[in-house]
Amino acid sequence: MSNRLIRIKDVMDRTGLARSTVYKYISLGQFPQPIKLGTRAVAWVEREVEAWICESIERRNEAVLK
């Protein structure tokens, strides 16, 4: 994984989350923080989003095993 930045549409496509859910999870501290690119633009570090997806899968698998 690289430090490539991805925009909200890519985040939504990769996670299956709606925009509002992404921002809700950010406010709850449950999703990676975006990086500010300008006054009205943000992006996420690709590897951080991918790590969040992997962690979500691991949590699901642990819950199934219990």
Angle at 43 between CA 51 and CA 58, to 5 degrees: 15
pLDDT for 63 equals 81
Residue 65: per-residue pLDDT: 75
Each residue's pLDDT tens digit, 42-60: 999 999 999 999 999 999 9
What's the confidence (pLDDT) of residue 52? 98
Return the higher-pLDDT residue of 64 and 41.
41
Q: Dump the DSSP string for 16-51.
A: ---HHHHHHHHHTT-SPPPEE-SSS-EEEEHHHHHH
Q: What is the pLDDT of residues 6-51, one digit of tens each?
A: 999 999 999 999 999 999 999 999 999 999 999 999 999 999 999 9
Q: How far apart are CA 18 and CA 12, in angstroms?
A: 6
